[in-house]
């Protein structure tokens, strides 16, 4: 995948900002108890598909929460459309993915911590 154009980046920024506001307002009904963060939005060159990466905090069931949000994609797309109707001609199809960067960082920190506790071997 090549680099995104300025147009794609601008449009992704608009979607990210409006989706973040939507998740802040309605997120509790889609994933009760979870704090949802829109970490990244990637838009196809024709602006028809937006791939949204979500991070979930305060929940042990992030994958289930993601599935629940994916099942509500139509409702979320409609609400997004109401927010961006004056800024975009079309509302892109939404695809939601789990952003597991935080989990990866935690995993790597545990590995490094384990390594640092091991006794050093003489050179």
d(C-alpha 53, C-alpha 16), whole Å: 10
Range of the domain at 50: 6-117
pLDDT of the chain along its 123 residues, tens only?
567 789 899 999 999 999 999 999 888 888 888 888 899 999 999 999 999 999 888 778 888 888 999 999 999 999 999 998 888 888 999 999 998 777 777 778 888 888 887 777 666
Given this model, what pLDDT does residue 26 score?
A: 86
Element (H, E) at 77: helix 73-84
Rounded to two decimals, the pTM is 0.79
Given this model, what pLDDT does residue 122 score?
A: 66
d(C-alpha 45, C-alpha 15), whole Å: 15
Domain-embedded: residue 53: yes
Domain-embedded: residue 45: yes
- Alpha-carbon dihedral angle through residues 55, 11, 90, 45, given to the nearest 10 degrees: -100
Domain-embedded: residue 30: yes
Given this model, what pLDDT does residue 34 score?
A: 82
Domain-embedded: residue 65: yes
Given this model, what pLDDT does residue 123 score?
A: 61
- For the chain, how many structural domains are there in total? 1
Given this model, what pLDDT does residue 33 score?
A: 81
Domain-embedded: residue 1: no
């Amino acid at each position: 995948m090549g680099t995104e154009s300025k147009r794609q980046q601008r449009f992704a920024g608009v979607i990210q900002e409006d989706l973040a506001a939507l998740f802040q307002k309605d997120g509790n009904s889609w994933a009760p108890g979870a704090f949802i963060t829109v970490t990244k939005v990637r838009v196809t060159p024709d602006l028809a598909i937006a791939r949204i990466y979500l991070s979930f905090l305060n929940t042990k069931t992030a994958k289930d929460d993601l599935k629940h949000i994916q099942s509500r994609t139509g409702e979320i797309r409609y609400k997004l459309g109401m927010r961006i109707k004056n800024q975009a001609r079309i509302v892109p199809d939404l695809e939601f993915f789990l952003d597991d960067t935080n989990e990866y960082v935690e995993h790597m920190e545990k590995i490094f911590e384990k390594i640092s506790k091991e006794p050093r071997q003489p050179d």
